[in-house]
Structure 1
Amino acid sequence: MWDDFDDEDPDFDEEGDFNFEKEQDKIYKHPLMKKAKDIVGLTKALVGSLDEARRELYGSMMLEDAVSLSSKFVAAESIPDYVIKMEKAVLIKIHAKSLFSMSYQLALEETHAEEHLQLLRVSIEDYRLLFVEWVKGFDSAEKNNDGWGIFTD
C-alpha cells in the first residue's frame, strides 16, 4: 500500500511555501463566509422556536440549506478550477433560494413574527449581492474538463 507513494512528486514543495493559516483566514474572513455564518445563526434561532412538528418537518431542511452556504463556499474557494467553482456556486444558489422560499412557507403558517422572517430574507438578499460579486471573480481560463460538458465552453 505505501509502496505506491511517490517521494519524487514534482509538485510537492518541501519549503512549505503554502501558508495554510493564511488561506484559512482568507476563506473565513471573506464577507460571503461571514454573511453565511449570520444566516446559520438566524436559521438556528428560527428553527429552535418552531413547534416540534414543524421543527421535524422543516428544521433539518432549513439547517441543511443554511450550513450548505458556507460549506460549498469553502469547497469552491479551496480550488482554482472554474468548473468546480461554478458547480459549487450553483449549489449555493439552490440552497439560498430554498431557504428564502422556506421563510415564506413559515410566514403562511404564521409560525413566527414577520419581522423575524424578514431578518432572514434580508440576510439572504445581502448574501446574494455578495455572491454575485464573488462569482464575477472566477477565472474561466483555469478549467479542467470533467467530461460532463457543463461550464466547459
Structure 2
Amino acid sequence: MDYEDDRKRVKKLPIYKKGEEIFDVVSKICDLIPEDNNRLQHIKGQMLSDAMQLTIKVAGAEGGDLYDLRMEAAAIIRKAARDLMVSNHSLEMFGFQEVEYFNIVRDLIEEYRLLFIDWVSEFDQWNYIIDRWGLFNPPGVGPFDKNADGDISFNSKDFD
C-alpha cells in the first residue's frame, strides 16, 4: 500500500472522522473568544492543540503500526480528550460568555471515547518491540525481557 492509499484509509476511519468533527466544532467555539482577553486566548490555544491531537495521533498510530507506538499515541489522545473535556471550566472561570456551546464538544468527545475503545481493541499485541521504559508493552511483556532478535549474534564475516 502506498502513502496516498494509506492516508485515504486513515481518513475514512470513524475515529478520525469524529476527531475532525470535534476539531471543527472547537474551532468554531474558539472563534467566539474575544481577542483582547489574554487568558482566554491561552485557553483557546490549548483547546485547539488538544482537538488537533485527536486526528494527528490517530494518523501517527496507524502509520507506526507497532503496539508500543500505538499505545503511546492512544495515551496522548486520551489526555488531550480529557483536557478538552474540562476546558469549559477554564472558559467559564475567565469570563467566556458562550460557554454553553461547549456541551456540544462534551457530547462529541463521549462519542469519540466509544470509538476510541473499539480502535484500541484492534491493536495487534503481537506486533511489538519491547518498550524498555515499561509503559506500553503488551500484556505479559516486561521492560527487562530478552529480545529474541537482539540476542542473535551477528558476525559480518559469516557472509563473506
- Return the TM-score normalized by structure 1: 0.82
1:26 partnered with 2:12: no
Contact 1:82 1:138 in 2 (8 A): yes
Structure 2 residue aligned with 1:40, among 14, 17, 23? Answer: 23
SS at match of 2:23: helix
Deviations 1:22-46 (A, max 9, x none): 2111100111111111111111111
Greater mean deviation of Cα atoms: 98-107 or 132-141: 98-107
Higher-Rg structure is: 2
Contact 1:72 1:91 in 2 (8 A): yes
Could you list the runs of 5+ residues in structure 1 that have no partner in the other structure?
Answer: 1-17
SS at match of 1:151: coil
Could you list the runs of 5+ residues in structure 2 that have no partner in the other structure?
Answer: 142-160
Alpha-carbon separation, structure 2, partners of 1:69 and 1:99 = 10
Amino acid paired to 1:150? L
Contact 2:19 2:112 in 1 (8 A): yes
Structure 2 residue aligned with 1:67, among 28, 41, 52? Answer: 52
Number of residue pairs aligned between Structure 1 and Structure 2:
135
Alpha-carbon separation, structure 2, partners of 1:113 and 1:105 = 10
Contact 1:83 1:151 in 2 (8 A): yes
Amino-acid identity (%): 30
Deviations 1:102-138 (A, max 9, x none): 0233245452152x11111111111111001000000
